[in-house]
Amino acid sequence: MSGYRFRAPRPSLEQAQPALQAWYESVYGQHILCQEQALVGDLLRQSYGNMLLQLSTYGKAELYSESRVSANYSLSCFREGSHEGHMAISEFESLPIATESMDVVVLHHALEFSMHPHQILREAQRILLPHGRIIVVGINPLSMLGLESRLLGIGQSVKAKAGPISVSRLDDWLHLLGFGAPKLRYDCYEAPTNFKRLLNSFVFLGQLAARFQLPGGGVYIVEAVKEVQRMTPIKPSWRRFQRGFDIPVMGGVATSKAAKQSSRRTNKSC
């Protein structure tokens, strides 16, 4: 059975780039992008620090427009369709960033279109400072957008098939990498269509569903804090003996002659 493949492998990012670019610039793609920017902006208004890094599969995305962090940077995995001046090109699985140098890392649909999503999370954890924040924007597999992206591809393009990651799986990965309990929010409940009238007809229902946080939103946003467990030094216990000096007793074993005599008297009395 190992020689059979029940589904076609997901195309590489290079093959999916034209379809992804067209989807982001479509009516529905722009609608999703505006909502994502508003939601991430609400989180970034509560984040402070010196350095922010965004990893996005869309070079023109600027989810950090509401950021209060001093310096904001963006990395894209595509050379084409990216902003000039503030944009750098790099593989998300191997970031050319120093360890523990970023206060906030934003992953904008970087996991579901990668063949190694867990490695991207490891890199994000590596470059984050202790108590730094990670914000993950992903496609919810239990939604209309999630089903379309998995079966038909983003924008119904076979070259842009995604592998949406469930919230529970992402939670497990973050926990293994040392992040605290994540905060979750669903949004973008509208049907994936480029017809404006049909899309606008779902806006009220989408707002109602977002108010009660129903789990069928097309997009989820997860925020987590990198927790660091620091070692607490164990202080040696001190014991006073008859000769009037103190010695440290490590593990309950004294090292002086007086300590040995004290332990012998204790054993006899018992």
pLDDT in tens, 6-50: 344 555 667 778 888 889 999 999 999 999 999 999 999 988 899
What is the residue whose two structure tokens read 């508003």? 38
Whether pLDDT at 182 is above 90: yes
Q: Return contacts of 214-217, CB within 8 angstroms, 24+ apart.
A: 214/186, 214/189, 215/140, 215/142, 215/186, 216/140, 216/142, 216/143, 216/144, 216/186, 216/189, 217/140, 217/143, 217/186, 217/187, 217/188, 217/189
Mean pLDDT computed over every residue of the chain: 82
Contact call for residues 25 and 189 (beta carbons, < 8 A): no
- What pTM was estimated for this model as a whole? 0.79
258 confidence band (pLDDT: 50, 70, 90): low
**Averaging pLDDT over each range in 52-56, 81-85, 87-91, which range is the top one?**
52-56
Task: Name 175's Cβ contacts closer than 8 Å, sequence gap at least 6.
Answer: none
Q: Can you tell me the distance from the alpha carbon of 263 to that of 118, in angstroms, rounded to the nearest whole number?
A: 55
pLDDT at residue 263 is higher than 70: no
Top CATH class, 13-225: alpha beta
Confidence of residue 88 (pLDDT cuts 50, 70, 90): confident
Query: Does residue 73 carry a pLDDT above 80?
Result: yes
Q: How confident is the model at residue 1 (pLDDT cuts 50, 70, 90)?
A: very low
Q: What does the pLDDT look like over 147-172, one tens digit per residue? A: 998 888 887 776 678 889 999 999 99
* Residue 191 burial (C-beta neighbours within 10 Å; 0-12, 13-18, 19+): middle
pLDDT digits (tens, 9 = 90+) for 184-229: 999 999 989 999 888 888 888 888 998 999 999 999 999 999 997 6
More confidently predicted of 87 and 170: 170
pLDDT of residue 232: 66
Sign, Cα dihedral of 47, 123, 174, 14: positive
Higher pLDDT, 222 or 258: 222
Q: Indicate if the pLDDT at residue 130 is higher than 90.
A: yes
pLDDT score for 140: 96
The bridge status of strand 219-225 relative to strand 237-240 is unpaired
Give the DSSP H or E segment for 184.
strand 183-187
14-28, 93-107, 124-138, 236-250: which range is least confident on average?
Answer: 236-250
Cα 179 to Cα 107: distance, rounded to the nearest angstrom: 15
Report the distance separating Cα 234 and Cα 136, nearest Å. 38
* Predicted pLDDT of residue 6: 38
DSSP conformational letter for 257: H
* CA angle, 49 then 51 then 53, to 5°: 130
For residue 137, list its beta bridge partners.
108, 221
Residue extents of the structural domains in the chain: 13-225, 237-269
- Of 116, 112, 118, which Cα lies nearest the Cα of 161? 112
Average pLDDT rounded to a whole number, residues 61-68: 91
pLDDT, position 223: 97
Distance separating alpha carbons of residues 27 and 25, to the nearest angstrom:
7
